[in-house]
A and B are shown apart, each in its own frame.
Chain A
Amino acid sequence: MAKFRGPLAFQAPSAEWQLLPFRFERINGKVLVTNLVGEHLFLSAEDFDQLARNELPTDSPLVRRLRAKHVIREGADELPVELLAIKSRTRYRRLAEFTSLHIFVASLRCEHSCPYCQVSRQSSDKGAFDMTWETAALGLESAFRSPSQNIKIEFQGGEPLLNFELIEEVVAAAEVRNASEGKNLGFVIATNLALLDDRVIDFCRAHDVYISTSLDGPADLHNKNRPRPGKNSWELATAGIQRVREELGVDRVSALMTTTRSSLGRVREIIDTYVELGLTSMFLRTLSPYGFAIKTKSFDAYDVDHWLPFYEEGLDYIIELNARGVPMVEQYAALILKKMLTNDDPGYVDLTSPSGIGIGAIVYNYDGDVYASDEGRMLAEMGDKKFRLGNLHQDSYEEIMLSDALLAPLEESFAPSAPMCQDCAFETYCGSDPTYHYATTGDFVGRKPTSGFCRRNMAIFKLLLDRYEGDAGTRALFQTWAGH
């Protein structure tokens, strides 16, 4: 036995610890520590004090945990730095392949008149609010200029099916073009499904088009939120969802909800509606502060503090459903968990840094105006064209992508260099969202202590970490979501 050396022989001398970049947040008597790339661990207040005072004992599980998570290193260790560098590169690799989502506003017209809608028009004048083929062709040209190997073309509105001929033309032209480009090309139609007919179904089947729709919850809530002639928006949407599932496939349709004051207190019913329709994924959204939402004061009507309990109850209910064997993913949590638990950043426009405006998604409005994000277009409808990058008919791809209107908000809002964000333990899970902060404060960076974006997301991060640490079953569920 004398041949074997004891564990102490392999421990680094205690004086040699060096701190690697980490950030922390005190939560309920414990201290959350996150490393450079967002790997996390919770320390007791006493352990954290030892770390902060550089009084770490040599032989302790604490030191092993801190070294394993690249929070500290022994003086001569190069490996932690190298691994952190690899993980950081992995996190940011998506930036080289920018702009994968290209949103074509096929028409601003809509037969719905939802009070929270930011952009739609009630009009029978096809000429005034529909995108022309000439404009769409330029949009397609721009889309294929993007370095991204994955190109998704999403048709939005208004109600894009009101200009279905254009969709047919764009899809056909994109497929021809892609025969030589060789991109991973995908199509999405964002529709309320009220106008779904055989022609649309056959087309979607033939061209592998994905359907994204709106479903706000049970019939009374949905129909109140989304008025249309006949007061049957919910009936048409749910029938449409079922039809797409049956005729195109269960994985060909997903639904998004919008939260209004009427939704509060009804999150379980909303989730049940999704479950009953056989949907396995939903997105518990907050109301955005743009467009008519501000005009009609429906945004002021409830703030983050009202929304958070709604989200928490919904998340817990979804966790409970999964524990009972009912599969359901909450997409916002899944996005965050991917950032928390892997080295991947899904690049979700509102929750990534640098922001995804222009470089994650870009919007071609019906009239050829190019916006850095959908929210930027909504802001423009309110009269502020801050996020207008140019016009397809007047500006080149280079002029649009290198415009100050895009580069200034990207640079200024970059979270790792934004005041308070740079010190925030959650920075790698979060994003910069210059559009939100501009809309609410007139500044791309905003003021973080009063930012609703900041408050909402910090609360969600804490909630997710709490549930993740609390229970092995939830941990396994969250790991599954993160892996999607």
Chain B
Amino acid sequence: MIALRGKALSAPLEEPLGHTVWKIVDVATANSQRGSRAFVVGEDGEAPEGFDLYLTRSCGPSAGKGEAVLRLPPELDYLSGDDVISVSDDGQRVRVLWRHESRQNSVLLTERCNHYCLMCSQPPKTANDDRLLAEAFELMRLLPRGTSEIGFTGGEPTLYGQGVIDLLRLCRNLHPEAQVHVLSNGTRFADPEFAAAWAGIDNPNMMVGIPIYGAEPARHDYVVQAEGAFNQTIPGILNLAQLRQRIEIRVVLHKLTAPALPEIAEFIARNLPFVYQVALMGLEMIGLARANIPELWIDPTDYADELVEAVTLLDRNRIHTMIYNHQLCLIPRSMWPYTVRSISDWKNEYHPECVECSVKDECGGFFFSAKYKVSEKIKAIPGEAPREPALLEL
């Protein structure tokens, strides 16, 4: 688990920081942009002049006096050049917006949502957090050209309306090569004007991931705790499809959805055959899911049949299907080719049993949150026994 936020050990500022989003520099080069950059002081203790903010590692050398200096907590010592952070005005709170080393950066745009999913990993809040959107705009400008993947998540990003459209257009214009993935519950796209504005971004590398938790309204609406959701999400998907937008359908598997998986797969194949891909997601025991463990927990081995049935059906209908966040020892071998090693690096952990496992490197592993609930059937997959040399019968 890699920390994405932390409190400064010390931040003796003389005056509040002028802005919140900082790109980190660890090698002093040109002078021109130092104002908007934060210099992280290395082992050599060198701190070139001219930066508005200096970061020092928890036990590392300090920077010069009289500058704005922020001492990072140990868990954020990993920060280095080209990472992007957001720092509160008083320098106390640091949030990591972008890790240059990672290919799984996900930009949180809001914590507000019009759904309240039983298993939400990011429990919705109601407070205005428009600053997150503003930070995302800034982040787009700071990311290096050639950034290959950018994910946007929430909350529900489309609650911003035109604001998120503007952000995604900026993203397309500054990072045309990047694969852009946006998570949304899809309801906003039921509005044809919004769907058209989305299509107007005109980014062929952009995909929206929309969850479906049932093949009819009752189950879906219950899972997302919003009446009428299904009857907006599906028309939203149809609107996007008509505009030739790339759509991913996501199904989080738990006790309420896994038994209906074949029905959901059939519904997708028959009603939404145009989708770009389907992602079947293992349950992350975090956020609201932890509060609802009795309602949601199901051992993945108990839905193996449904998983095989659904994946087979989607595959035969030529719908690209991926299984995320599942441990290989809990699903049938025939499903292994569909698994994606996907748990964000900062969330990934392994179980003690995994030490002996021969396929650990191919396995999705666990969310760190698995400590709250994990299948009792986790079992190391023994390696192929080295073949005995054939005895020559004489």
A10 touches B227 (CB 8 A): yes
A5 touches B225 (CB 8 A): yes
A483 touches B267 (CB 8 A): no
B316 touches A483 (CB 8 A): yes
Contact with A along B316-327 (1 / 0, CB 8 A): 111000000000
- CA–CA, A68 and B273, complex, Å: 15
Chain B residues numbered 235-262 whose CB sits less than 8 Å from any CB in chain A? 235, 238, 260
Contact with A along B296-310 (1 / 0, CB 8 A): 000000000100110
**Across the interface, which residues of B come within 8 angstroms of A63, CB to CB?**
218
B173 contacts A by Cβ under 8 Å: no
B218 touches A10 (CB 8 A): yes
**Across the interface, which residues of A come within 8 angstroms of B312, CB to CB?**
472, 475-476, 479
A87 contacts B by Cβ under 8 Å: yes
- CA–CA, A86 and B215, complex, Å: 17
B364 contacts A by Cβ under 8 Å: no
A276 contacts B by Cβ under 8 Å: no
Chain A residues numbered 84-121 whose CB sits less than 8 Å from any CB in chain B? 86-87
A64 touches B219 (CB 8 A): yes
- CA–CA, A429 and B344, complex, Å: 46
B270 touches A74 (CB 8 A): no
A11 contacts B by Cβ under 8 Å: yes
Knowing A3-B116, A342-B317, A483-B317, say if A67 contacts B218 (CB, 8 Å).
Answer: yes
Interface residues on A, range: 20 to 34
- CA–CA, A146 and B2, complex, Å: 64
B271 contacts A by Cβ under 8 Å: yes
Knowing A68-B267, A482-B316, say if A11 contacts B218 (CB, 8 Å).
Answer: yes
Chain B residues numbered 205-242 whose CB sits less than 8 Å from any CB in chain A? 214-219, 221-222, 225, 227, 230-231, 234-235, 238
A52 contacts B by Cβ under 8 Å: no
A-B pair number, CB within 8 angstroms: 83
Q: What's the minimum C-beta distance from B295 to chain A, rounded to whole angstroms?
A: 8
**Minimum CB distance partner of B215 in chain A:** A68
A300 contacts B by Cβ under 8 Å: no
**Across the interface, which residues of B come within 8 angstroms of A79, CB to CB?**
230-231, 234-235
**Across the interface, which residues of B come within 8 angstroms of A342, CB to CB?**
269-270, 273, 317
Knowing A4-B292, A79-B231, say if A12 contacts B218 (CB, 8 Å).
Answer: yes
**Minimum CB distance partner of A1 in chain B:** B291
A4 touches B118 (CB 8 A): yes
Q: What's the minimum C-beta distance from A372 to chain B, rounded to whole angstroms?
A: 32
- CA–CA, A100 and B215, complex, Å: 36
Partner of B270, one of A4, A39, A480: A39
- CA–CA, A64 and B260, complex, Å: 10
Contact with B along A9-28 (1 / 0, CB 8 A): 11110000000000000000
**How many residues of B are counted as interface, with CB atoms below 8 angstroms from the partner's CB atoms?**
35
Q: What's the minimum C-beta distance from A238 to chain B, rounded to whole angstroms?
A: 32
**Across the interface, which residues of B come within 8 angstroms of A87, CB to CB?**
270-271
B166 contacts A by Cβ under 8 Å: no
B46 contacts A by Cβ under 8 Å: no
Interface residues of A, dominant DSSP: helix
Contact with A along B99-135 (1 / 0, CB 8 A): 0000000000000000010100000000000000000
B313 contacts A by Cβ under 8 Å: yes
Partner of B222, one of A9, A67, A482: A9
Partner of A77, one of B217, B219, B238: B217
A67 touches B317 (CB 8 A): no
Partner of B317, one of A11, A12, A475, A479: A479
B90 contacts A by Cβ under 8 Å: no
Partner of B263, one of A68, A74, A475: A68
**Across the interface, which residues of B come within 8 angstroms of A65, CB to CB?**
263
Q: What's the minimum C-beta distance from A472 to chain B, rounded to whole angstroms?
A: 7
B222 touches A10 (CB 8 A): yes
**Across the interface, which residues of B come within 8 angstroms of A482, CB to CB?**
316
**Across the interface, which residues of A come within 8 angstroms of B215, CB to CB?**
64, 67-68
Q: What's the minimum C-beta distance from B3 to chain A, rounded to whole angstroms?
A: 29
Q: What's the minimum C-beta distance from A400 to chain B, rounded to whole angstroms?
A: 36
- CA–CA, A476 and B315, complex, Å: 10
B217 touches A67 (CB 8 A): yes
**Across the interface, which residues of B come within 8 angstroms of A398, CB to CB?**
none
Q: What's the minimum C-beta distance from B215 to chain A, rounded to whole angstroms?
A: 3
- CA–CA, A208 and B215, complex, Å: 45
* Shortest beta-carbon contacts, A-B, top 6: A68-B215, A479-B316, A67-B216, A10-B221, A10-B222, A68-B216
Chain A residues close to B by CB (< 8 Å): 1, 3-7, 9-12, 39, 63-65, 67-68, 74, 77-79, 82-83, 86-87, 342-343, 472, 475-476, 479-480, 482-483
A-B contacts, 6 listed (Cβ < 8 Å) = A1-B291, A4-B225, A68-B214, A79-B235, A342-B269, A475-B312
